[in-house]
Amino acid sequence: MADEETAAKEETAAEEDAKATEEAAAPEPSVTMIHVRFSADGSVTEIGERPTSVTPQDWFNRLSDKAGTRYQALSGGRGIFRLPPEDVEALKTMTAN
């Protein structure tokens, strides 16, 4: 009977390992990361995915207004927006109009 219990525990552990491996291998949704760099006075000096017709500060303001909940402040005068690619394209289109 002890052998049956041991075998059942090993089978359960193997099933849990397989499930964890499947979950870890699942692809994450596509995300565009937009990096921001600030100067000492708080103005934006660099920002990714910016349309050429828009200043870095205006692009940051647009992203903050429309997707502020997706922003994460980082140390060293930096930050990052994490947005789905289609949202980034929509914001670029809104800016161009």
User: pLDDT digits over 34-65, tens only?
Assistant: 999 999 999 999 999 999 999 999 999 999 99
Top-confidence residue, 6 or 35: 35
3-class secondary structure per residue, 14-79: HHHHHHHHHHHHCCCCCCEEEEEEECCCCCEEEECCCCCCCCHHHHHHHHHHHHHHHEEEECCCEE
How far apart CA 97 and CA 94 sit, in angstroms, is 5
Q: Is residue 89 part of a domain?
A: yes
Q: Is residue 73 part of a domain?
A: yes
Q: Is residue 90 part of a domain?
A: yes
Q: Is residue 86 part of a domain?
A: yes
Q: Is residue 55 part of a domain?
A: yes
Q: Is residue 72 part of a domain?
A: yes
Q: What is the pLDDT of residue 31?
A: 96
Domain that holds residue 72: 32-96
Q: How many domains does the chain have?
A: 1
Q: Is residue 84 part of a domain?
A: yes
Q: Is residue 25 part of a domain?
A: no
pTM: 0.69
Encode pLDDT of 64-83 as tens digits.
Answer: 999 999 999 999 999 999 99
